[in-house]
Structure 1
Amino acid sequence: MLQVFRNSAKGHVGKIIVGLIVVTFVLFGAESIVSIAGNNSPATVNGEKISEIDFQRSLASQQQALVSQYGAEFAAQLANSSLLRNQVLSELINQTLEQQLTSDLKFQVSDEQVLKTLADVPAFQIDGKFDKGVYESLLASNGYTHASFLAEQKELLALTQMQASVQNSAFNVEKIASRYAKLGAQQREVRYKEFSSVNFLSEAQATEQEILDYYNENQDQFVSPEQIKVSFVSLTQEHLASQVEVTDAQIEQAYNSYVAELESRVSRSISHIMFTEGDDLMAQAQAAIERLNNGEQFADLAAELSDDPGSSDIGGELGELFEGVYADELYNAAISLAAPGDYSAPVATDDGVHIIRLDSLESPTIEPLSELREQLVAQIKIDTAAQELYVVQEELADVAFTSSDIAEVAETFGVDVQTSDWIQRDTTQGIFANDDLKSAAFSDAVVFSDELSDVVRLENNDLVVLQKTDYQEEMLRELEEVSEQIASIVQLEKSRELMQQAIDSAVATATVDDSWQPAVSVTRVDAEALPSEVLVTAFELAKPSEGQPSISASAVQGDTAYVVAVTAVNEIEPSAEQLEASQNLSSQLASIDQLQLMFNLAREQAKIKIR
């Protein structure tokens, strides 16, 4: 259980915490799902509705992942496509089916089981210790409350338990494992010959006609892109911050907020002894209090007396205390305990009567104002500057609109005019990697009307206005300018063609001579003995016939390829270690098949409606 949550800290896209817990199955027939029109429930699975909220949240997560992986410009082409929407809906249908299957098989997880694991999640820790503020902040940034996260974790942990149970029930066929072992132990005598296009360059000189033909057929490769040089001014947050004056009152207010934030991050873990069975629960609890007062251990009494099956065998431990998870009476009693080891008087709730013990109490260290003053001043300046930027943005826009020269803007705001090198529409370096700034630079108003651009706010909140200083439109480069480049391209293509002809000839003759590498005896896992392409090809070949090797060409990797010959195949008896490894592999594959088969059956029998 703990490993599931430890692993969950490694995710970085979308639902960071729980993304690695779910095992998603392939949904057969997903390509038949049609696009979604606006509807409160885009699909139902066996009568259970998939909410529009869940769909939109999952869609937004996928869209953000596309932006992170491919950049805003390319991702925009896919973000609202029917393909992505269908994929998101397919995943939600899968998840719903899995949850229904888990419920049907009676797999359940309690709040306490989840709460006990939270302290061990690295993503929720600072310096190796659980931090309530980090926990709540991380949940909020991913669209969760504590209650919704807890509910989802319960579902996912129950799903994980169901999957493990089904996989463990898989039947492993010994003959299959034995076959895997024999294949793994098999040795092959391999020879190969390497071919490189470099060796054919001298025979592949490009003629003038070939250069001309290539130029005419591939002119799009020789177009000089549209480019522009600009002068610009940049109003930075740091520049505004340097002009902010901070008062003592602001510093005091910031320090008080700091103190209040740390005080709210007190972390408590608790245990309990719970009484739910009997005629007089309060009397049972009071008797337990007397035994505690007489020196008996809380954990021993929890194991002996507690009616909570989820915690009695672990000393009554409930883990981290969270408001809203437990009954108010229990929560209030817990937070009233002053020191670890203190325990409460009997507490009655709707679930029974409890004795609560405070196991640990951790409070962040509050630094004195004298230690934080410089840091607080810097933060106040940054925050104030960030707010003022929105006012300054309007002023900058007004000045830029009424100015004919970027120097006027620079003088008004007391900053320097900066100049750029050539900028192209696909520039990825410096501030002009920003798509909005490039769009402004290449706008008709800037390029053709010599106007100052609109104000552009960068990712770091800097404000930029620019003006054209030079411009070159897209144009086809002259043949003389690119002829050497084309000659190299044509020569390389011809050398590759000659290399392929030599490879085809070597395979056709099926003859192994002294120009080939000496024979090497290898197994499938001898990665260092041969080039990887040679090893893969060698074990794809059929067994050689008597006196005649099996020969084939490997896949061409750039300008290098191999012709591979297997001259003999030797069946070796597997070792005990190989047999054990094969049995483990066979069991894993059988487990996966068992789980997939069960899901496929549920999928086939499910009543799914797409709206």
Structure 2
Amino acid sequence: MLQSMRDNLKGTAAVIVAAFFGFIMVIGGIDFFTGASGGSADKVAEVNGEKISNLDLQRAIQNRRSMIESQYGDSVPAELLTDEQLRAPVLQQLVNTSVMRQAAQDSGMVMSTEIVDRDIAQMAGFQVNGKFDAQMYRDGLRRMGYSHSGFRQLLEQDMVMQQYAGSVADSAFTTRTAAEQVVAVSMEERDFDYVTLPVAPLLSDVSVADDEVQSYYDANQQAFQRAEQVAVNYIELTPELFAANIDVSEQDIRSQYEQEAKNFAAEARRHAAHILIENGASDEGKAKVSEVQAKLAAGEDFAELAKQFSDDVVSREEGGDVGFTSGDVFPESFEEALSALNVGEVSGPVETDSGIHFIKLLEVADAEPPTFEERKAAITARLRNAEAEREFVEAMSRLADLAYNAESLSGPAEELGVEVKQSPLFSRTGGAGITGDSKVIAAAFSPEVLEDGMASEVLNLNENHVVVLKLAEHKPAGVKPLDEVRQEIVDRLKRDKASEQLAAQAEEIQSKLTNGEAFSDVASAEELTLETSDNTRRGGFGARGQIVSHVFGLEVPKPGAKVVEHFALQNGDQVVVQLRGVRAGKLSGQSAEQREAMMQQLASMQGASELAAVQKYLSSKADIEMAEAK
């Protein structure tokens, strides 16, 4: 379309290119896929004589870490992203990939040059306006540090592996009998009734002795384990922290406004519409231009002609409306033609890089400078933020020196005019606020902070948020003291005792039902609410989910009979349930679309299973040597 939109598309495409490279390099870099790994001196594994270097491994670890952070953000515990945690699974994936790639090569699978080139040409990241752009392709490879041949080789290796995996997975199938068996279980329905005996009303009358609490504590030490925890003192710097203390004078605001007003040029904003004919220089394009020009000369409606003839798919449905311009939105020739029109007039053919345009001026709006009162709040905020940004940068540059070897953070905080904050205790899985940030967690549990008592380096949580921290408290991993968990134990013992009392009542109800009494009569006599659940399938949450799960674990009743049982929920409530009927799911009861989806899903699961089996077999036959971790 227009040049400005074309530039925006290039920016978006660059992001897509980066995302694509990130995907195909999750397992390893170009060197690994092309067999150009480092020498044996730094190898971490060898597969059938092909070495995997430490560089390959480090690249893959970093790629895996970036992928996890991109997908899950700060919710991932910092210890799960360490090299130690990622090394083993990533190295195993490198080995598996090597095995699969070698098997693909040994099977004679290749990818033709034409197919690889076609795949490259169809990648969205290398296209502009739906067409492959050679400059975009060259720029993308240069940013990522690849040559054309190197990238093609990487892509070919990836495509061959996908082809090999597909030859295994896509050949899998499932039978109707297997699908019927799956549906019989997954779509099974059960009919049942139940009552719930609540434990809460009994708790206030239940007492627990100190020796009972001690005995339970002694017998369940494993349940009261506490992870290692720390609390930190920290200095936190943000521009907003400084902005709150900055006063902007009326004189400075007015001076800035006067400067704005002086620089403000009252420009006419023109509202334009256009009809775009791409490839206007071709014979077909020239014919189309002539046809549109003739219809405009005949007085036909511009908006309708735009809908019929314009190649601008974005604006044509709006009658060619492309919005307002102050003279700097559209290409120069477009702007010149537009500025020469009166409202309602249509230009002759105007050529730009996008094609031939017919331009209509819809309206003109005069832009007048805003008043001082209209601009005061915005100018005040801008001046305050600019000063706050300056103070933030200055404080950030001083923070590292002030905190280095400081006995405490109170001195640096006073020097910078900020306060020292203290976090609650948190473990390696993180806590609330800044203690949930992986950088803060890693620093807090680092040897320098945890063992040596030093202040951390300046942590850039984002471009406008930095933190320095120092250990305030450390609690090693171990068993929580009894006083800390006493109430928890008391509540648990009370609940268990009350639930045991209810179990006797539930047993009595079960006995009455087994002897043939109607469930409704028994529930009424016990002043309990009878719940009926027909056509129930597996699943659910909370207490309801626990009840459904238990019901689906009961034996199928014989024809004309019922199965009665009582059990306790996790909260101590007792439930008495009566199972009346069970019906297996039927594949024939599903719609044609559901049956097809079921068969495809089962085939996909079977394919994944077979692919895993092939990979396991290939690995068992391969000569794999793992170097010891250093």
Give the TM-score taking structure 1 as reference length. 0.52
**1:57, distance to aligned residue in structure 2 (A):** 1.8
For the 8 Å contact 2:233–2:470, the answer to whether it is kept is: yes
Q: How far off is 1:190 after superposition?
A: 2.8
1:94 to 96, 100, 105: 96
2:166 alignment partner, one of 164, 167, 182: 164
Specify which of 385, 392, 398 is matched with residue 392 of structure 1. Answer: 398
1:287 match: none
1:363-512 aligned within 5 A? 392-393=398-399, 395-396=401-402, 406=410, 415-420=416-421, 424=425, 428-429=431-432, 434-435=440-441, 436=443, 456-460=458-462, 487-495=490-498, 511=514
Question: Aligned pair in 2 of structure 1 residues 163, 128: CA closer, same or farther (>3 Å)?
Answer: same
Shift of 1:84: 4.4
* 1:171-222 Cα shifts (integer Å, max 9, x gaps): 4333323444555665433334445543542453323544566678899979
CA-CA distance at 1:93 after TM superposition:
1.6
Question: Aligned pair 1:575/2:576, yes or no?
Answer: no
Counterpart AA for 2:156:
K
Structure 1 residues 284-433: aligned runs within 5 Å: 392-393=398-399, 395-396=401-402, 406=410, 415-420=416-421, 424=425, 428-429=431-432
- Post-superposition offset of 1:53: 1.9
Query: C-alpha deviations, 1:221-253, integer Å up to 9, x for none?
Result: 799x9998979695979969x9xxxxxxxxxxx
Whichever residue aligns with residue 542 of structure 1, its letter is: E
Q: Following TM superposition, by how much is the alpha carbon of 1:390 offset from its aligned partner in structure 2, in angstroms?
A: 8.1
Task: Measure, in 2, the Cα distance between the counterparts of 1:379 and 1:89.
Answer: 48
Aligned to 1:605: 621
| Alpha-carbon contact 1:554-1:563 (below 8 Å) kept | yes
Normalising by structure 2, report the TM-score: 0.50
Q: Which of 89, 107, 116 is 1:111 aligned to?
A: 116
- C-alpha distance in 1 between matches for 2:146 and 2:384: 31
- Aligned-partner Cα distance in 2 for 1:501–1:66: 51
CA contact (8 A) 1:440 1:454 kept: no
Residue deviations 1:533-588 (CA, integer Å, cap 9, x gap): 44444444432235543456789555567555433334676236265454334433
Aligned pairs (5 A) from 1:28-47: 40-47=42-49
Q: 1:584 aligns with which of 600, 604, 628?
A: 600
For 1:145 and 1:555, the matched residues in 2 are separated by 67
Q: Does the alignment pair 1:17 with 2:23?
A: yes
Residue in structure 1 matched with residue 307 of structure 2 by the alignment: none
Write the distance in 1 (CA, Å) between the matches of 2:577 and 2:424: 49
Mark the runs of 5 or more structure 1 residues left unpaired by the alignment: 1-8, 23-37, 243-291, 297-358, 362-373, 447-451
Report the 3-state secondary structure (helix = DSSP H, G, I; strand = E; otherwise coil) of the residue aligned with 2:417.
coil
Partner of 1:175: 177
Whether the 8 Å contact between 2:213 and 2:489 is mirrored in structure 1 is yes
Deviation at 1:95? Answer: 1.3
Closer, same or farther: CA 586–561 of 1 in aligned 2, 3 Å: farther
Tell me how far apart the structure 2 counterparts of residues 50 and 134 of structure 1 sit (CA, whole Å): 33
Match of 1:54 in 2: 56
The answer to whether the 8 Å contact 2:17/2:140 transfers is no
CA–CA distance in structure 2, aligned partners of residues 231 and 602 of structure 1: 53
Task: Output the CA distance in 2 between the equivalents of 1:459 and 1:526.
Answer: 41
Query: Compared with structure 1, are the counterparts of its residues 535 and 54 closer, same or farther at alpha carbon in structure 2 (3 Å cutoff)?
Result: same
CA RMSD of aligned residues (A): 6.4
- Shift in alpha-carbon separation, 1:590–1:227, aligned structure 2, 3 A: closer
Cα distance change of structure 1 residues 542 and 379 upon mapping to structure 2, 3 Å threshold: same
User: Following superposition of structure 1 onto structure 2, how do residues 542-553 of structure 1 map, counting pairs within 5 Å?
Assistant: 542-550=555-563
> C-alpha distance in 1, partners of 2:481/2:170?
69
Matched residues in 1 for 2:474 and 2:185: separation?
64
Q: Relative to structure 1, is the Cα distance of residues 441 and 295 closer, same or farther in structure 2, using a 3 angstrom cutoff?
A: closer
Counterparts in 2 of 1:534 and 1:142: CA distance versus 1, 3 Å: farther
- Aligned 1:168-317 pairs, distance under 5 A: 168-183=170-185, 186-194=188-196, 196-198=198-200, 200-202=202-204, 204-211=206-213
Mapped contact 2:234–2:422 kept (Cα < 8 A) = no
Asked whether the 8 Å contact 2:237–2:392 carries over to 1, the reply is no
Q: 1:389 to 1:472 in 2, by over 3 A?
A: closer
Shift of 1:73: 11
Q: Is the Cα contact below 8 Å between 2:455 and 2:468 reproduced in 1?
A: yes
**How far 1:13 sits from its partner (Å)?**
11
Counterpart residue type for residue 591 of structure 1? G
Q: Name the count of aligned residue pairs.
A: 447
- Measured after TM superposition, the shift of residue 117 of structure 1 is 3.3
Q: One-letter code of the match for 2:398? A: V
Question: What SS does the corresponding residue of 1:204 show, helix, strand or coil?
Answer: coil
Shift in Å, 1:54: 1.8
SS of the residue aligned with 2:23? coil
- Relative distance call for 1:442 and 1:113 in structure 2 (3 A) is closer
